[in-house]
Amino acid sequence: MTYSQKLRITEIFHSLQGESRTAGLPTVFIRLTGCPLRCQYCDTAYAFQGGKLISIAEIIASVKAYECLYVTVTGGEPLAQPLCIDLLKVLCDSNFIVSLETSGAFMVDEIDKRVSVVLDLKTPGSSECAKNKYENLSHLNKKDQVKFVICDRNDYEWSKAKIKQYDLGNKVGEVLLSPSYDQLKGSELANWVPEDGLSVRVQLQLHKLLWGLEPGR
């Protein structure tokens, strides 16, 4: 790996983290271009193509300019670009607190152990449930998080079964359940979880509550 190697980048921006355990914290987002999945609720289709080839050195310089501790690498599906693995290592070596948002359709076993993996296990309602690589779950630990986007009651019941099957409550640091925007009311999910005594975190997408569907926030 050399710092001159390039990844295709849709955008690099500074905002508040809208999801996960660091929700609300100022974060620099690096959005990689491209994704082989087509989730029916996707809100970042603009990152499927286009973008600009930027060297790892230039990416690191852009991130450092924001003077922000937290960095999230996202997409698209960032792991669709193999050099994402190298970028994550360089970010960690640069003393950032790094998280990776991935669909779980690509293996995470080679990711730097300092990175917090936020793995979005695709529910039936996503239309991409068949892309889940469940063997990824064996590579996660307490620094990592598993997210389920819930479209309806069937997704919720499916997610409950997966949480139990893979003992996710004891394996990862956070299990996150998020209602699909405009498909399931947050209040419904917020009622189901305590009724069933689930030990999970219900999360709303803070960035959408603040800024709606505006991209790059």
Domains of the chain from N-terminus onward: 6-211 (3.20.20.70)
What is the pLDDT confidence band of residue 217, given thresholds at 50, 70 and 90?
Answer: low
User: Which residues pair with residue 145 across a beta bridge?
Assistant: 118, 174
* Nearby residues of 48 by Cβ (< 8 Å), 6 or more positions away: 33, 34, 35, 76
Alpha-carbon distance of 32 to 9, in angstroms, equals: 5
* Alpha-helix residue ranges (DSSP H) falling in the chain: 56-64, 84-93, 153-165, 168-171, 186-196, 206-211
Render pLDDT for 29-41 as a digit per residue (tens, 0 to 9): 999 999 999 999 9
Tell me if 63 sits within 8 A of 50, measured CB to CB. Answer: no
Q: What is the mean pLDDT of residues 50-65?
A: 98
Alpha-carbon distance of 34 to 182, in angstroms, equals: 24
Tell me if 118 sits within 8 A of 102, measured CB to CB. Answer: yes
Render pLDDT for 151-170 as a digit per residue (tens, 0 to 9): 999 999 999 999 999 999 99
Q: What is the mean pLDDT of residues 118-134?
A: 97
What is the pLDDT confidence band of residue 1, given thresholds at 50, 70 and 90?
Answer: low
Q: Which two tokens stand for residue 69?
A: 């501790």
Q: Which of 33-47, 92-106, 201-215 has the lowest mean pLDDT?
A: 201-215
Given a cut of 80, is residue 54 above it in pLDDT?
yes
Burial zone of 59 (CB within 10 Å; 0-12 exposed, 13-18 middle, 19+ buried): buried
Given a cut of 80, is residue 5 above it in pLDDT?
yes
Specify the pLDDT at position 162.
98
Averaging pLDDT over each range in 1-5, 43-47, 202-206, which range is the top one? 43-47
Helix 84-93 to helix 56-64 angle, to the nearest 10 degrees?
Answer: 40
pTM of the entire predicted model: 0.93
Burial zone of 199 (CB within 10 Å; 0-12 exposed, 13-18 middle, 19+ buried): exposed
Distance of CA 63 to the CA centre of its chain: 18
- Phi, psi for residue 82 in degrees, rounded to 5: -55, -30
Give percent of the chain with pLDDT exceeding 90: 90
Specify the pLDDT at position 94.
97
Q: What is the mean pLDDT of residues 104-131?
A: 97
